[in-house]
Amino acid sequence: MRKLGRLLTAMVTPFDNEGEVDYQQAKNLAQALLNSGSDGLVVCGTTGEGATLRFEEEFRLFAEVKSVIGNRGAIVASTGSYDTKYSQELTKEAEKIGVAACLLVVPYYNRPTQQGLFEHFSAIARATSLPCILYNVPSRTATNLAADTVIKLSQIDNIVGIKEASGDFRQIAHIIQGTKSDFLVYSGNDGDTLPILALGGYGVVSVISHLVGIQMKDMIEKFLDGKTQEAAAIHRRLLPLINAMFIISNPMPIRYALNYIGFPVGKPRLPLVEPDEKSAEIIRTTLRNYNIDLAIPPKSAHL
């Protein structure tokens, strides 16, 4: 399996003034993220507003982003949904495009049992040769993917990792202890990255890496090099920014932040809206306290 990298950015999907996907700006953003620390990109995930993207928009995004980054970084296509057969089809189509892996969220709304979750993910994995990364985010899906279910799923050859956003460190430790050493446990919350690395996790699927990717990468590398106090200092310094980017539901704050720093990505699609003024002021004030890593392209780059 091709290495996916430890710092994956859950990429925002840029929209134009009419609310349509801005594919050129998506390519600009993909390149900028790889230039500022990211090893790869999760495309059409939660932060990319995949829930409101049409089938044809998702696959054009996968193809357009791949066309511009080539083999510089891994593209992880978010192809999971609450419908197993639909998820299988999405994943098979993404595989044809040549993405590096797929991200499979716990089915939302219909609240399956653990046996249903096992069969759901097993069926998708059987439908593809792509490496599959599970995604547990019970705050959004209303269902937790239990550690024992993850351990059982990890025995399937192409289920290679999990993005864990439960915030339950006992559960995460159980997963790391019960899976093979090459099973990739990614933090799904920026603020959990260092604790999960300390438990033996692999990396992070990050939102704030849109803004401070080089600093996030530095934190991870310092920890891996044994410079734990320096890594902890970076973690503590970034916490106020993390809090600001999740002051209301992701991706509303990060989209606002990108627009504010001069990297236009448009407004979110309904039912998401721009932050209220109180939240926006907190975001602006917080951003002024940080050095932003993302290279802002010249205006001429945005066609």
Kindly list the catalytic residues: 135, 163
* CA dihedral for 258, 57, 251, 7, sign (positive or negative): negative
Helix 55-69 with 84-97: angle, nearest 10 deg: 30
How big is the chain, counted in residues? Answer: 303
